[in-house]
Amino acid sequence: MSVATIAAFHKRLSQLCKAFAAAPAENTFRAADVLLVVTGAVGEEEDAGYLKSYATLTWLLSVSHDVYEMAVVATPKNVAFVTTPVGASALAGLLNSDNPDAAAHPHPPVVLRVPTAPKKGAPGAAASAADASAAAATTIKGVVKDALAAAGKPQVADAAAAAAAAKDAKEAPPSPPPHRVVGLLTSEVKVHDGVFAKAAFGAVAGEATVNAAEGLSRLLAVKDSMELARLRKAARVTTAVFRFKVTPVLEDTLDKDKPLRHNAFADVIERAIIEPSSVRLPPGIRKENIDACYAPIVQSGGVYNLLPSAQSDNHKLSANCILVSLGSRYAGYCSNASRTFLVDFTTEQRKNYETLLAAQEAVLAALVPGKKLKDAYAAAVGVLAKAERELEGRLGKNVGFGMGVEFRESALVLNPRNEHVVAAGMVFNVSVGLSALKDKEKGTYALLIADTVVVPDGGGPAVKPEHILTAGIRKSFSDISYNLDPEEEEAPADTNGSGGRKDKHGAGGSGSVDVDGAVDLTEEVGVAARRRPRRNASAAGDEGAALEEVKRRKHQAELEARLLKAGLSRLAGAKSDGSSDGEDGGGGRGGKGKKKGKTMDEFRAYTDASKYPTALKPRQVFVDMASECVFVPISGVPVPFHVSTIKNASKSDEGSHTYLRINFHLPSTAGTGGVGAAAVSASAASVPSFPVSNGEFVKELSFRSSNSVNLNDALRKIKELRKRVTVRETEAKEKESLVQQAALVVDRTARVPTLSDVSLRPHLATGKANTGSLEAHTNGFRYRSLRSGNVDVLYSNISNAFFQEADKEVIVCIHFHLRHAILVKGKKTKDVQVYTEVMESAVKLDDKRRRAFDHDELEEEQREREMKNRMNKAFLRFTRDAEERCAPLEFDMPYRDLGFTGAPRNESVLLMPTVSCIVDLIAWPPFVLNLEDVEVAHFERVSFQLRNFDLVFVFKDFENAPVKGGPPAWTRISTIPMTDLIGLKKYLDEQQIKYYEGSANINWDVTLKTIRQDLEGFYADGGWHFLDMDAGESSGGESGDADEGSAEGDGAYEPSDVDDFDDEDDDDDGYSGGSDSSEGSYSDSEASNESGSVASGRRKKSAAVSNGRNGSAGGTPGSAGAAAKAGRGKSSRGKAGGGGSKSDRMKMSAKDVRQELAGSSDEGEEELDSSEEGEDWEVLEERARADDRRKGRGDASDEDKGKDRRRGGKAPPRGKAPPRGGGRRESTIRSKPAPRGSGAGTKRRR
């Protein structure tokens, strides 16, 4: 039995006895003298139900089993437990345990009684059933009789007989003495069956009885930490079944129009609860502790019953209004949730559902400690009355009830007559429903919303997400509505002309928010994206992705509004406290104010000169290692300087002399305040604060000696002394920043869960000296190593606990991320990990491939698998035992399926999300990012042209300047594959984290510093909304295009195609210099040398300018998005003008590329001279082929190449064939007089 269970038993038993023995004015048990709680026998296949007696024993003993056939008899003097031998063997350790905190939770002694029947017949033979029943009846009657006798009051029959005797003797009847009163559950007297129940109720048959149900209900109403932990686990099971079983099955049925009956759907849900292998259960939940609270309820088709006792009928699921209710139970504690799904809804249905949501929010807001339960019902009625008077009459008789071990606590029903007061720690099933609603198109329907809610401490409302245990089951209208009509229009036209509704400030555009949290999105966008056409499975996937994106955008807008509102409230609170914006006294998260420096008195080594060391010699540098001082001779007088004042020391040899130079720490001379004690530089943390009144101080001292022995020895000692003092000061600073923790309470009585043969990180030692065992004690863990010492980790100091099994890794580990750092081997750390290796990590140095059927290697792999499974089970068993010992402690397991690669530091690792963190526990130092500390996330370098992106997390404490050595204000995970972008967005959205997206990296140090300087202006301008890239583009689309164009115009000159040929003196009408067509290109390449040289030179200049601009676009430090756009546009224009693909240009030399872009390259081949221009084209081709054959070139495959070479790499003009029969090519080639020296009329070769 765990320590937590034993402590909870004695605490609850003390509460029971205290309430039972309270004064009459405060006694909820109606002044009963004896309290009797009895449970009957239950068959193997029989369910005990939700009787108060079973709930009381489950609450008292912290177990959901072994509470059958048991009787508890409590008096002010003792508490007796009577149970069967089987129950006694299971509960003996608990009932016979010592009270660990008897001073705070005292109670009467506990007595365990087990009936024993006499054995008959042969030795060792078991007693008969009749004898066992008789023994049980005798034992329980005896216990009850003893309890009644201990009460010291006569029985009711005895008091009546005494009064009758006095009357017969004609005496004055005596005052009736108070008779004995037995408190029991009167409604269960005839319910229980079995020997224990019959014997117990028979023993009190002649006594006065009162109903103890009210007193027991008061005890069970408020839950402690262990109960709340079990309720949260039950709610997690309910949430997982709803999300991963109910919704997928329902959507698949609607998409494919499958026939599905209500009871069959309910059976699928119940199997998912009992056998939760098909749902994603969070870690730390044991399958054997899960059960269904009731048979799930599925209703549709116009017949609805909103009571928890309703049952699913045999009718087919109707695509109209669907109600689904389910509840799961974990370790005896219940949770419940109900949702309504509307298919092909009408406007009236939508309006009524949103009104019902508002009514539930009103009920949640009314569950405040100190208010009465009837106020919650009145709050729902008030909302419905304001909406429509007709809906008020459709509300049920209550809006929920208390919940815990009992599914429905009858004393805590939220109805208009309940006068009970709400208390912190109560748990309610807030169930608001409207029945018998009429719609002209859909007929009769009903609406129901139910959630499990815990009332928080501190008097705050229970409407926060962390107090709604089933908040993971979404219930907004866009999440529960479906439209199966493929012909319906997507969304109504926008009447504002701005792409969305205008907010109260008049700003349009998608995604903008106001301070009050109003989301600037059209109401129809979520519904329109949820259209699901029938019999179109391929479209359903794309449409589902679009739906998720729309839902995320809407939810992100809500998160942005929530962040802005929270920031404004923090700013208002800071102003009310008198603090100014952007000023935190230099403390930040590391503390407020500047730390007080050391004074001269703290560095005093000698009180007077008589204390100087005797080995001190005149006119020599002397180092006193004991006093940490350096004596230097000044004018023959030894002057001591503490080593903390010395910055550094150096030695040099020049000629026959040796020089020793000692530099001292200096006061800072920056600013107008001069030098002083407060101006000591921050780099000298341990420098004493000394007054400098006249601005004079010693900067350095130099000494010369012809004998280098003493100076060398002094230099060595100074460096050693400085190192020693620096290490000591560093350790002292680390210890000063540590939080004082309580001592570990070692458990020496009960069995301590132990994990043996494990290693610790950070390492205490190397090799086998780092091996030890991990033990779970009363208030913390202890890592015990016989060679290296102990390391204690308290439960209260654990922020996050993780268990990662060995799947593809070589280790299995348990990791603790701490709230406050502890010292491990003299160094501070906030991460402590216990691990063991499950296989040997070896590197194969040769290139030999192993054989497929090598028996040795197969056996080795089998041994590794067995060891891996064995260690995984051992670590998992230890985590479960530790969770039972400390109820608030829960171990998270990383989700490997959601893992992604990234580089939080200098190397890329596999990062895996957990319930509330993103971790990498294998590499050391580990990476643990607690998402509860994150204010906002920003995706950087998001571009379809890149393979990777970065993710930055800004922490909630960004408003305070980070201190040196303290936690940072932000962190970045770089080089994340682009394929993980959607998955990370979905995960962050589920974690309620607002994220933004951008195409460039941001200098966050400068950005956050700017924000801190004007927090008021930052929040007034919308807070983090400046990171919204979509909002920026939508708000200024035309201006953005204009800016881009102006940016291109302001850059380097890039001549247009027309500018290339404006100055050409060409009267030929057929010449087309400004065209990009094939004809123009061909004509340009065959032009004369004069015009060709002019055009070629200008094209070379244009190509060089274009290449220069394109090459520098990506490296411009500035707006990466604008640079990327400009680079893409210019690259396409340069490519069109230059010709050839990127791969082709990469294969060419730089000179060939320039000639290719200029259009004048002939690739070393001949050009047509003036004598050849008039000849037939085929004759010229034949002559070229003959020339190729003469040079040894191929003639079959090179014909086309020869043509291309003669055309300068360009195709012949489209639509214009070369003239035949000796005709001149009037429109393509014209001869011009060649300039002198141009070489015209001769063949030019390269």
Task: Please give the full DSSP string across 187-208, using - where no structure is assigned.
Answer: GGTTT--SHHHHHHHHHTTTSE
Which pLDDT does position 1149 carry in this prediction? 45
Q: Which DSSP helix (H) or strand (E) runs through 1103? A: helix 1089-1113
3-state helix, strand, coil in the chain (%, to 5): 40, 20, 40
**Which whole-number Å values give the CA distances from 1119 to 196, 484, 898, 1010, 1125, in the listed order?**
82, 45, 33, 18, 10
Domain-terminating residue out of 482, 506, 541:
482
CATH number for 940: 2.30.29.30
Q: What are phi and psi of 5, to 5 degrees?
A: -65, -40
* CATH number for the domain that contains residue 627: 2.30.29.210
pLDDT at 1108 over 70: no
Q: How would you classify the pairing of strands 970-977 and 948-955?
A: antiparallel
pLDDT band at 129 (very low <50, low <70, confident <90, very high): low
pLDDT surpassing 70 at residue 736: no
Q: Which of 345-349, 611-615, 1205-1209 has the highest mean pLDDT?
A: 345-349
Residue 1136 φ/ψ, nearest 5 degrees: -65, -40
Find the mean pLDDT for residues 349-370.
91
Give residue 675's pLDDT band: very low, low, confident or very high (50, 70, 90). Answer: very low
* Residue 179 pLDDT grade (very low, low, confident, very high; cuts 50, 70, 90): low
Which of the listed residues 200, 221, 242 is the one where a domain comes to its end? 221
The verdict on residue 463 lying in a domain is yes
Looking at per-residue confidence, does 539 or 339 come out higher? Answer: 339
d(CA 678, CA 690): 9
1232-1239 contacts, C-beta under 8 A, 24 or more apart: 1232/1088, 1232/1090, 1232/1091, 1234/1088, 1234/1089, 1234/1090, 1235/1089, 1235/1090, 1238/1089, 1238/1090
Summarised one tens digit per residue, pLDDT across range 953-990 is 999 888 888 877 778 899 999 999 999 999 899 889 88
Please say if the pLDDT value at position 880 is more than 80: yes
For the stretch 471-505, pLDDT in tens is 889 898 988 988 876 444 444 434 333 333 333 33
In a domain, 711, yes or no: yes
**Is 171 found in the same domain as 244?**
no
Mark whether 327 and 467 lie in a shared domain: yes
- Of 482, 504, 539, the residue that ends a domain is 482
Total count of domains within the chain: 6
Confirm if 772 and 788 have CB atoms less than 8 A apart: yes
Instruction: Give the C-alpha separation, 420 to 365, whole Å.
Output: 17
DSSP string, 1112-1161: HHTT-SS-HHHHHHHHHHHHHHHHHHH-S-HHHHHHS-HHHHHHHHHT--
- The DSSP annotation for 2-67 comes to -HHHHHHHHHHHHHHHHHHTS-TTT-TTTT-SEEEEEE----TT----S-HHHHHHHHHHT-SSS-
Same structural domain for residues 884 and 898? no
Judged by DSSP in three states, 1063 sits in coil
Residue 1201 binned pLDDT confidence (cut-offs 50, 70, 90)? very low
Q: What is the DSSP string of 79-129?
A: EEEEE-HHHHHHHHHHHTS--TTTTTS--PPEEEE---PPP-SSTTPPPPH
Q: How many CB atoms lie within 10 A of CB 940?
A: 21
Q: Quick one: 634 and 762 in the same domain?
A: no
Q: Are 321 and 349 in contact (CB under 8 A)?
A: yes
CB 42 within 8 A of CB 57: no
pLDDT of 136-162, one tens digit each? 788 888 888 888 777 665 554 445 555
Residue 188 sits in the same domain as residue 309: no
Cα–Cα distance list, 453 to 365, 394, 465, 753 (Å): 11, 23, 9, 34
User: Residue 1043's Cα: distance from chain center in Å?
Assistant: 39
Mean of pLDDT over the chain: 73
Q: What domain range includes position 746?
A: 738-841+862-892
Separation between Cα atoms, residue 101 and residue 119, nearest integer Å = 41
- In sequence order, what are the beta bridge partners of 648? 663
For residues 256-278, give the mean pLDDT: 89
Tell me: the pLDDT tens digits for 422-454? 999 999 999 999 998 998 888 999 999 999 999
Choose the weakest-confidence range: 602-616, 686-700, 1083-1097, 1148-1162: 1083-1097
Confidence of residue 1110 (pLDDT cuts 50, 70, 90): very low
Query: 534, 257 in Cβ contact below 8 A?
Result: yes
Helix (H) or strand (E) holding 561: helix 537-576
Calpha distance 44→65 (Å, rounded): 12
CATH code at position 760: 2.30.29.150
pLDDT at 479: 87
- What pTM was estimated for this model as a whole? 0.52
Which two structure tokens, joined as six digits, stand for 194?
Answer: 């079995």
132 and 7 fall within a common domain: yes
Confidence class for position 574, pLDDT limits 50, 70, 90: low
- The verdict on 232 and 86 lying in the same domain is no
Beta-ladder partners of 5:
none
pLDDT at 1245 over 80: no
Measure the CA–CA gap between 1047 and 1126, rounded to whole angstroms.
8
**Tens digit of each residue's pLDDT (9 = 90 or more) over 205-240:** 878 888 888 888 888 999 998 899 899 999 999 999
Residue 550 lies in a domain: no
Mean pLDDT of 852-857: 70
Report if residue 570 sits inside a domain: no
Q: Please write the tens of the pLDDT for every residue from 169-178.
A: 555 555 444 5
Query: Do 783 and 887 belong together in one domain?
Result: yes
Q: Do 397 and 296 belong together in one domain? A: yes
Confidence of residue 167 (pLDDT cuts 50, 70, 90): low
The torsion angle over the Cα atoms of residues 342, 345, 351 and 352, rounded to 10 degrees, is: -50
d(CA 629, CA 622) in angstroms, rounded, equals 9
Question: Is 1056 within a domain?
Answer: no
Tell whether 502 is covered by a domain.
no
DSSP 395: B
Cα angle 1097, 1098, 1100 (rounded to 5 degrees) comes to: 65
Residue 314: what pLDDT? Answer: 92
User: In the chain, what's the furthest Cα-to-Cα distance?
Assistant: 165
Which of residues 886 and 1109 earns the better pLDDT score? 886
Q: Quick: pLDDT tens for 923-959.
A: 989 999 998 899 999 999 998 889 999 999 999 888 8
**Residues 203 and 239 grouped into a single domain:** no
For residue 1002, the model assigns a pLDDT of 92
Q: In what order do the strands lie in the sheet with 827-837?
A: 789-794, 780-785, 771-776, 754-761, 827-837, 811-824, 798-804, 891-892
966 and 1042 part of one domain = no
pLDDT at residue 752 tops 90 = no
Give bridge partners of residue 813 from the DSSP assignment: 804, 835
Q: Which of 1025, 1009, 1020, 964 lies closest to 582 in space, CA to CA?
A: 1009
Helix 1177-1190 crosses helix 1199-1206 at what angle (to 10 degrees)? 120
53, 188 contact by CB (below 8 A) = yes
836 vs 380, 572, 755, CA distance in Å?
Answer: 56, 51, 10
The pLDDT of residue 628 is above 80:
yes
For 1218, counting Cβ atoms within 10 Å of its Cβ (0-12 exposed, 13-18 middle, 19+ buried), the class is middle
C-alpha 949: how far from chain center: 19
Tell me what the mean pLDDT of segment 1070-1079 comes to: 37
Q: Is 1034 helix (H, G, I), strand (E, B) or coil?
A: helix
Three-class secondary structure assignment of 813-846 = EEEEEEEEEEEECCEEEEEEEEEEECCCCCCCCC
Contact of 385 with 392, CB cutoff 8 Å: yes
Is position 1125 within any domain? yes
Please give the angle made by the CA atoms of 1053, 1055 and 1056, to the nearest 5 degrees.
140
Percent of the chain's residues with pLDDT above 90:
22
Does 522 fall in a domain?
A: no
What are the E-state strand segments in 635-692?
Answer: 637-642, 646-654, 657-664
Position 1064 pLDDT exceeds 80: no
Peptide bond before residue 174 is cis, with ω within 30 degrees of 0: no
Among the listed ranges 45-59, 351-365, 803-817, which one has the minimum average pLDDT value?
A: 45-59
Q: Is the pLDDT of residue 858 over 90?
A: no
Inform me whether the pLDDT recorded for 575 exceeds 70. no
Residues 831 and 757 in one domain: yes
Sign of the CA dihedral with 1107 first, then 1108, 1111, and 1117 last: negative
What the block records as the tokens of 915 is 């319930």
The whole-number average pLDDT for the span 811-833 is 89
